Amino acid sequence: MSDVLDTAWVEEPDAATTARIRGLLLAARAVDGRPEVDPGGPLPPELRGGPHLLGEAGGELVGYAHLDTRGDAFGRWVGELVVHPEHRRAGHGTALASALVTRAGGTELRVWAHGDHPGAARLAARTGFSRARELLVMRVATEGARWPEPTPPPGITLRTFRPDRDERAVVEVNARAFSWHPEQGRMSVADVRAAEAESWFDPAGFFLAEDAEGRVVGFHWTKVHPANPARFGGRPVGEVYVVGVDPAARGGGLGKALTLAGLRYLRDRGLGQVILYVEGDNAPAITVYTRLGFTRYEVDVQYAR
């Protein structure tokens, strides 16, 4: 029962606590395919900063939650919640969710459910959350894909990212392109530099579009995920990580050109499949990606209270 779960908030986990959290996340990843966590590295970016909630039973870490108190672009706090696969259906998820609600107080709270598991829907209903947002995961096989050479609009050229030179320009375009987005719109120069330090970062797969005056007006940031036994057939997969186009440069096919540049790059790296994340209510983007061969694979849900 949930009353055997001892919970404690930790503001800054030490190395030993971080290792325990990582172990729980890896156990969940082996079953669920999520979260993306480096066995020997830091916690995933979405779990850095903000307080950490540890749930112990019998001296073992069986549950974990994180609360991003920086908030999304609209000031809502965002939580993540994981229960060890061997300790599920014991009320621990309810106890962790209730603790998140208490900690948030009167601040609007949203919690992610990755994979839209029926158990997450039941937990949400028990704890007063309602379905507020869907994030689709779409996938395409690269073999046989007919992706032509990208053709940018007149006066626009494509090049690759230059570390220590292009961060500010990318952030400024991103802010204009994603002013409506809860997470992407708040990307900072520090976030870009932090990503550059990650093992997956590759400037050769980061495409920028420049106008005739040398201004960056769009970008396509690709990413490569290592093999995950519980997802995508256990093979490495490329990702259309972020495609951003300055609103003033839309309507001429720049977004498609940038997308094609990244897709062809990922295919040429020998990756057999490419994924992307897109808002479930973004019908125009879904239509574009469907025409490029993408089909729905998974859905992540954000529940709100």
Q: Residues 29, 35, 37, 42: is their CA dihedral positive or negative?
A: negative
User: Would the annotation count 31 as a binding residue?
Assistant: no
For residue 23, give every residue at least 6 positions away whose Cβ sits within 8 Å of its Cβ, in sequence order, or none: 61
Q: Residue 1 — very low, low, confident or very high, per pLDDT cuts 50/70/90?
A: very low
pTM above 0.85, yes or no: yes
User: Would the annotation count 297 as a binding residue?
Assistant: no
Beta pairing partners, 275: 139, 239
Q: How do residues 175-228 score in pLDDT, each as one tens digit? A: 999 999 988 888 999 999 999 999 899 999 999 999 999 999 999 999 999 999
| Rounded-to-integer distance, Cα 132 and Cα 124, Å | 11
Whether residue 3 has pLDDT greater than 80: no
Tokens of 233: 């057939």
User: Would the annotation count 234 as a binding residue?
Assistant: no
User: Would the annotation count 269 as a binding residue?
Assistant: no
User: Would the annotation count 192 as a binding residue?
Assistant: no
User: Would the annotation count 136 as a binding residue?
Assistant: no
User: Would the annotation count 292 as a binding residue?
Assistant: no
Beta strands per DSSP E along 114-236: 130-141, 157-160, 206-210, 216-225
Location of structure tokens 């949930």: 2
User: Would the annotation count 254 as a binding residue?
Assistant: yes
Taking a C-beta distance cutoff of 8 angstroms, is the pair 195, 152 a contact?
no
Report in angstroms the alpha-carbon separations of 278 from 70, 138, 205: 23, 8, 20
Whether residue 275 has pLDDT greater than 50: yes
Domains (range + CATH), the chain = 2-128 (3.40.630.30), 138-299 (3.40.630.30)
- Residue 148: asked if its preceding bond is cis (omega within 30°), the reply is no
Taking a C-beta distance cutoff of 8 angstroms, is the pair 191, 175 a contact?
no
User: Would the annotation count 239 as a binding residue?
Assistant: yes
User: Would the annotation count 196 as a binding residue?
Assistant: no
Q: How do residues 137-161 score in pLDDT, each as one tens digit? A: 999 999 999 999 999 999 999 999 9
For residue 113, give every residue at least 6 positions away whose Cβ sits within 8 Å of its Cβ, in sequence order, or none: 120, 121, 124, 300, 301, 302, 303
User: Would the annotation count 250 as a binding residue?
Assistant: yes
| Rounded-to-integer distance, Cα 214 and Cα 157, Å | 9
What's the pLDDT score for residue 186?
87
Residue of 260 and 119 predicted with greater confidence: 260
User: Would the annotation count 251 as a binding residue?
Assistant: yes
Q: Residue 256 — very low, low, confident or very high, per pLDDT cuts 50/70/90?
A: very high
| Rounded-to-integer distance, Cα 82 and Cα 100, Å | 12
Whether residue 2 has pLDDT greater than 50: no
User: Would the annotation count 253 as a binding residue?
Assistant: yes
Crossing angle for the helix pair 254-268 and 283-291, nearest 10 degrees? 50
SS3 14: coil
Q: Residue 78 — very low, low, confident or very high, per pLDDT cuts 50/70/90?
A: very high
User: Would the annotation count 244 as a binding residue?
Assistant: yes
User: Would the annotation count 83 as a binding residue?
Assistant: yes
Q: How do residues 80-136 score in pLDDT, each as one tens digit? A: 999 999 999 999 999 999 999 999 999 999 999 998 888 899 999 999 999 999 999
Helix H or strand E segment including 266 = helix 254-268
The DSSP secondary structure of 205-251, one letter per residue, reads GEEEEE-TTS-EEEEEEEEEEPP-TTSGGGS-EEEEEEEEE-GGGTT
